[in-house]
């Protein structure tokens, strides 16, 4: 087991009706005026908007609205939020929504205290040194943004989808009420499930030292995601499954599974972010296209972990069968498993591979290990759904 430091400063408040305390929480935190960030329509349709506003009014917390965050949030809208945060001199950010809303809220929190080019933080040109405190009420379980410091934004001008990560952007408090996720359409559940699984298996398969404690945490999360996803798709109003799924999603990317691993990279995310930037597909769909192909391509490089995964998660001693079973499961829940499923032609592979290599691979320092040729090999394996069978 490797040496490690673990620090997660986010307070989680989990359970039914907990969102109604948001006004009180902000007041106790000493926040007087927030930028209230939300998405396109869901919080108004469900009535959540009114409950949040009532709670803030009850505790005298002022707010300025920043609505219309789109899935795969974009830089121009983020900069609009930064402008409002500065103009109205808010002292905190309240994000109410899914990962996209939370991510845009975090990026605004950074931009609000900065006078330079916000995109510099995404390209790694500058390091984040401060941010406004951010608070979240999560309405869609998937990304783990509620308990980590990451934010992923697409720059529409350069067609880059890049991330920031900093201790200053962890939410101070996140409210996780599984009831708020009951309205998420069952058709989105596959994307959420794939994302959560990706967050834990990426390091699991790429580690060079792989402690049992971390492996078992990962396997437990994957098994819980599979079990609860099947139940949620059958019965979207199953509270207990929504609740267990929500907590699994938070644990998957709050750092808890990573201590002790050596190695560990998010290579599937690296490729998926280019599919997101170029085609604006849901993040989980980008991942389900890439993951089975990458696993097949990589399997001999860390065969013990693939054997372990197949045995512990799917009860098979055949390490290739484990990959095929995961792919079949993705397909069975309705996630795309090939570029073709998403309508992306083979003639796009060169462009995608070059995009991956010159954007995320470069910024994450993976461009030597993952050359354009290697990325193309993986993409060819993800071309047709019957290649990895």
Residues in contact with Zn ion by the rule CB under 5 A:
195
Tokens representing 124 are 């790694």
Closest to Zn ion by CB, 108 or 271 = 271
Cα-flanking dihedrals φ and ψ of residue 176, to 5°?
-120, 95
Closest to Zn ion by CB, 18 or 72 = 72
- Residue in 56, 4, 65 with CA at minimum distance from that of residue 31: 56
Cβ-contact 184, 149 below 8 angstroms: no
- DSSP letter at 347 equals G
Number of neighbouring beta carbons within 10 Å of residue 386: 9
- Residue in 85, 49, 47 with CA at minimum distance from that of residue 66: 85
Number of neighbouring beta carbons within 10 Å of residue 4: 11
Q: Which of 10, 72, 166, 268 binds ligand NZQ (CB under 6 A)?
A: 72
187 binds, among ligand NZQ, Zn ion, none (CB under 5 to 8 A by kind): none
| Interaction mask 119-158, ligand NZQ, x per CB under 6 A | --------------------xx-xxxx--x-xxx------
Binding to ligand NZQ in span 157-186, by CB under 6 A: 180-181, 183-184
Q: Which residue has the tokens 């597909």?
A: 281
Q: What share of the chain is helix, strand, coil (3-state, %, to 5)?
A: 55, 10, 30
97 binds, among Zn ion, ligand NZQ, none (CB under 5 to 8 A by kind): ligand NZQ
Q: Which of 23, 81, 92, 99 binds ligand NZQ (CB under 6 A)?
A: 99
Cβ-contact 171, 31 below 8 angstroms: no
Contact region with ligand NZQ (CB under 6 A), list: 9-17, 35-43, 204-212, 218-226: 35-43
97 binds ligand NZQ (CB under 6 A): yes
Number of neighbouring beta carbons within 10 Å of residue 196: 30
41 binds, among Zn ion, ligand NZQ, none (CB under 5 to 8 A by kind): ligand NZQ
- DSSP letter at 74 equals B
Q: In angstroms, rounded to a whole number, what is the distance separating the alpha carbons of residues 322 and 318?
A: 7
Cβ-contact 135, 171 below 8 angstroms: yes
Burial of 343 (0-12, 13-18, 19+ CB in 10 A): exposed
55 binds ligand NZQ (CB under 6 A): no
214 binds, among Zn ion, ligand NZQ, none (CB under 5 to 8 A by kind): none
Least separation in angstroms between residue 252's CB and ligand NZQ is 9
264 binds ligand NZQ (CB under 6 A): no
Closest to ligand NZQ by CB, 39 or 292 = 39
242 binds, among Zn ion, ligand NZQ, none (CB under 5 to 8 A by kind): none
Least separation in angstroms between residue 251's CB and ligand NZQ is 13
Which residues would be at the binding site for ligand NZQ (CB under 6 A)? Answer: 39-42, 71-72, 97-101, 103, 139-140, 142-145, 148, 150-152, 180-181, 183-184, 188, 195, 253, 269, 276, 283
């Amino acid at each position: 087991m490797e040496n490690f430091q673990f620090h997660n400063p986010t307070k989680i408040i989990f359970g039914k009706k907990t969102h109604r305390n948001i006004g009180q929480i902000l007041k106790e935190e000493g926040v007087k005026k927030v930028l209230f960030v939300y998405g396109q329509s869901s919080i108004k349709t469900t009535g959540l908007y009114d409950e949040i506003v009532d709670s803030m009014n009850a505790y005298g917390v002022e707010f300025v609205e920043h609505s219309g965050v789109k899935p795969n949030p974009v830089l121009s809208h983020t900069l609009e939020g930064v402008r409002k945060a500065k103009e109205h001199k808010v002292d905190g950010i309240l994000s109410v929504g899914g990962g996209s809303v939370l991510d845009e809220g975090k990026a605004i929190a950074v931009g609000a205290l900065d006078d330079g080019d916000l995109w510099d933080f995404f390209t790694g040109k500058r390091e984040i040194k401060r941010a406004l405190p951010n608070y979240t009420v999560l309405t869609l379980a998937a990304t783990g943004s509620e308990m980590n410091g990451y934010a992923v934004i697409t720059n529409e001008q350069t067609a880059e989808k890049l991330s920031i990560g900093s201790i200053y952007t962890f939410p101070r408090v996140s409210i996780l009420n599984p009831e708020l996720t009951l309205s998420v359409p069952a058709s989105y559940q596959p994307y959420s499930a794939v994302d959560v699984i990706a967050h834990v298996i990426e390091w699991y398969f790429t580690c060079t030292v792989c402690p049992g404690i971390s492996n078992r945490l990962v396997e437990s999360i994957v098994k819980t995601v599979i079990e609860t996803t099947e139940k949620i798709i059958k019965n979207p109003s199953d509270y207990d499954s929504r609740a267990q799924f929500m907590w699994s999603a938070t644990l998957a990317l709050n750092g808890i599974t990573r201590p002790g691993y050596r190695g560990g990279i998010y290579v599937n995310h690296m490729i998926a972010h280019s599919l997101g930037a170029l085609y604006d597909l849901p993040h989980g769909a980008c991942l389900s296209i890439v993951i089975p192909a990458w696993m097949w391509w990589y399997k001999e490089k860390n065969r013990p972990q693939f054997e372990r995964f197949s045995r512990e998660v799917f009860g098979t001693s055949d390490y290739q069968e484990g990959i095929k079973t995961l792919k079949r499961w993705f397909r069975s829940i309705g996630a795309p498993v090939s570029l073709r499923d998403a309508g992306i032609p083979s003639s796009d592979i060169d462009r995608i591979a070059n995009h991956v290599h010159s954007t995320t691979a470069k910024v994450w320092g993976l461009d030597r290990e993952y050359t354009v040729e290697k990325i193309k090999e993986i993409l060819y394996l993800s071309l047709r759904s019957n290649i990895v069978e």
